[in-house]
Structure 1
Amino acid sequence: MSGAPDLKVLEAAATWYVQLNDDTCCDATSRAWQTWLHASPQHAAAWARVEKLQQQWARVPRQTALSSLSAAKAQRREVLKILSLLLAAGACSWLAVEELPYRSMLAGQRTGSRERRSLRLDDGSQVQMNAHTSLDIRFDSAQRLIQLHGGEILVQTAKDTAQRPFIVDTGEGRVRALGTQFSVRQLRGRTRVGVLQAAVEVTARRSSGHPVRVEAGQQVTFDREAIEDISPLAAGSTAWVHGMLRVDDWRLGDFVEELNRYRPGVLQCATAVQDLRISGAFRIDDTETVLENLSKTLPVKVRFMTRYWASIEPA
């Protein structure tokens, strides 16, 4: 993992910065930060970028900077808003790179780690936004376009009197609705589409082939170059709309990665326990209870280094 840090790592670095600048910061927090910093090259790269931004903060009036950080401590998702403003103001080299997450930070609609949102669009369509989702809505006379920068949405399209196509655009390609209910999830370098009603057409951005039709009860994953084989829609794939995470015989490592979407900070799973199996339905709005119950059903323990950093380890 020597490449540019992803949004989750950058968010963790911003969280550490806020905690370390808190008047209540203690030695234990500082030691935990040092452990996190040296745990991965991506962590070090993310922290180097935060330090570069700190140089920009030095040119901001002190009272203004402290006010912003105080807001971030009250509502941690404000950290990303602060970073986006600083990027736009002074880190021009970041803005020039397509793969970095500034588009997500500056999106018109965004949700935090413990937030879901329901949108009713001008045409009557409904969009459910999962946690850590960012998008822009671009309706004009020719099309109804959702630009999904990150995260996951569930779309219920409405009939349009102007008969404009309804399209969800991601970094990997486009999904065109054919009078339908469907989900779109942005993965790392890939997009996954699941269809609940009717059908959609999927086109990879750099593919020269015809669009692939995906019917109700099916799902497909694609990158910029190609579209994978169609498979059955995973059970419980949209349970998040009702505040649930449903899993059936998942690896614990995969479960923790998914649960991490709904928690602020960092949640890790030790290699020794990643292959344990887990099934059940879990409330994503109460991840603390989910973690507490893991040790009752599996031979693991949850160790909290700080409020925003937890590790699942062998019992």
Structure 2
Amino acid sequence: MAQPLDYRTLEAAATWYVQLNAAPPSDAQLQAWQDWLGKSQAHAQAWARVEKLQRQLGRLPADVALPALAGVRARRRAVLKTLALLMAVGATGWAVRESTPGQAWMAELRTGKGQRRQVRLADGSQLELNTDSAVDIRYDGQQRLLRLYSGEIMVQTARDSAARPFIVETAEGRVRALGTRFNVRSDNGLSRVSVLEHAVEVRPLDQPLLMLRLETGQSVSFDRTQIAAASTALPGTGAWTQGMLTVIEWRLGDFISELRRYRPGVLRCAESIADLRLSGAFRIDDTDTVLENLGVSLPVRVRYMTRYWVSIEAV
């Protein structure tokens, strides 16, 4: 039977997580971690809680993923943050849910890591949610509003008999549809819009008088105060709606960062191979096969420390 975990054991588990996550671990570090893990049932139980967090949240907070040369204070902060999550998750995980941004957790529509969802809205518009996304629907007599708290959506708007504007609102600003199909993604303080049909208008939250119109095939990023220059939408934009990730001459490091969105747990790429290039179409519903194919097509090896902790390394 599982026993209550004390503070010191959870702190040790948090410390191991931060140490192993700060840089690709050496064989000596891995052996030391394995020795600690096998020393007692409590250690194994604490590490199981780390993996439970990875499954529930898909990833631990970004500031836990420290660079190899991060200072002692930065690492200590990361340990304490991880420790707080481990203490909160307990037996059920409800406390962790409550500690994340409440609006996202309580959103009307949500998807977990690796999930997608299609919804037909009341006006006939089509909404698709990508992995790890949260959206509220706010239709009234004046407007049709979607609040995207996190993640990515594809929208195909329908004609509205009341001529209400269709708006997607993110933490960074607003996107107004002009009879269109478009993709919106919001994460890490930045929103990106890509137009597949017709046009949209983009306005930053803190600069509502600043507006940019995007036409078919265009894409743009914006934050709360400014809009970047419009560019051509990347090939394969929206391929996720078909369960695919399409890339052309991507850096391996960028590819792994994108694949991480669809896979629970830790997925790391060694800096020494991050600049390798790859192209292709990959099924995001089967990330194990994607990782297996990397080892065949590139001079890399895929090392599984656990099912939820994978490292891509040089051969």
For Structure 1 versus Structure 2, the TM-score category normalised by the shorter chain is 0.7 to 0.9
* 1:224 alignment counterpart: 224
Letter in 2 for 1:218: Q
Match of 1:301 in 2: 301
Change in Cα spacing, 1:201 to 1:306, as seen in structure 2 (3 Å) is: same
Match of 2:83 among 48, 54, 62: 48
Give 2:166's aligned residue: 166
User: Which residue of the partner structure matches residue 123 of structure 2?
Assistant: 123
Asked if structure 1 preserves the Cα contact closer than 8 Å seen for 2:49 and 2:86, the reply is: no
CA distance, structure 1, for counterparts of residue 186 and residue 114 of structure 2? 18
Is contact 2:50-2:86 (8 Å) kept?
Answer: no
Higher relative contact order (CA 8 A, sep 6+): 2
Question: Partner letter of residue 236 of structure 2?
Answer: G
* Cross-structure match for 1:113: 113
| CA–CA distance in structure 2, aligned partners of residues 311 and 299 of structure 1 | 14
SS of corresponding position for 1:113: coil
TM-aligned CA deviation for residue 52 of structure 1: 4.5
Partner of 2:282: 282
- What corresponds to 1:310 in structure 2? 310
- Taking a change above 3 Å as real, the CA distance of residues 236 and 48 of structure 1, as seen in their structure-2 partners, is same
* Cα distance change, pair 299–168 in 1 and its aligned pair in 2 (3 A): same
- Post-superposition shift, 1:187? 2.5
- The CA deviation at 1:141 is 0.8
Relative distance call for 1:157 and 1:25 in structure 2 (3 A) is farther
String of CA shifts for 1:176-205, please: whole Å, max 9, x gaps: 000000000012111000001110000001
Contact 2:146 2:168 (8 Å CA) reproduced: yes
Instruction: Specify the code of the residue in structure 2 equivalent to 1:164.
Output: R
- Indicate how the Cα distance of structure 1 residues 31 and 163 shifts in structure 2: closer, same or farther if over 3 A, else same: closer
In 1: Cα distance, 2:246 partner to 2:259 partner: 11
Q: Residues 304 and 198 (structure 1 numbering): CA distance in 2 closer, same or farther, change over 3 Å?
A: same
Q: Classify 1:26/1:146 alpha carbon distance in 2 versus 1 (closer, same or farther; 3 Å).
A: same
Offset, 1:30? 4.0
Given that 2:199 and 2:215 are in contact with CA atoms closer than 8 Å, whether structure 1 keeps it comes out as yes
* Distance 1:242-1:31 versus aligned 2 partners, 3 A rule: closer
Partners in 2 of 1:154 and 1:123 — Cα distance?
A: 16
CA distance 1:32–1:296, shift in 2 (3 Å): farther
Equivalent residue letter for 1:272: S
- Corresponding residue SS for 1:201: strand
Q: Which amino acid aligns with 1:150?
A: S
- Alignment-derived partner of residue 8 in structure 1: none
User: In the TM superposition, what is the alpha-carbon distance from 1:210 to its structure 2 partner?
Assistant: 3.4
**Inter-partner Cα distance in structure 2 for 1:310 and 1:179:** 43
Structure 1 residue 291 and structure 2 residue 291: aligned? yes
The percentage of counterpart residues that share the same residue type is: 49
Q: State the Cα distance separating 1:209 from its structure 2 match.
A: 3.4
Query: What's the CA shift for 1:296?
Result: 0.6
Residues 177 and 103 of structure 1, relative CA distance in 2, 3 Å threshold: same
Give the partner amino acid of 1:44. Answer: V
Whole-angstrom distance in 1 between the partners of 2:42 and 2:263: 21
How far apart, in 1, do the equivalents of 2:259 and 2:311 lie?
A: 13
Indicate conservation of the 8 Å contact 1:303/1:310, yes or no. Answer: yes
Q: Distance in 1 between matches of 2:129 and 2:48?
A: 36
| Counterparts in 2 of 1:160 and 1:101: CA distance versus 1, 3 Å | same
Cα deviation for residue 48 of structure 1 reads 2.6
Q: Map 1:74-153; keep pairs closer than 5 Å.
A: 83-84=96-97, 87=98, 101-153=101-153
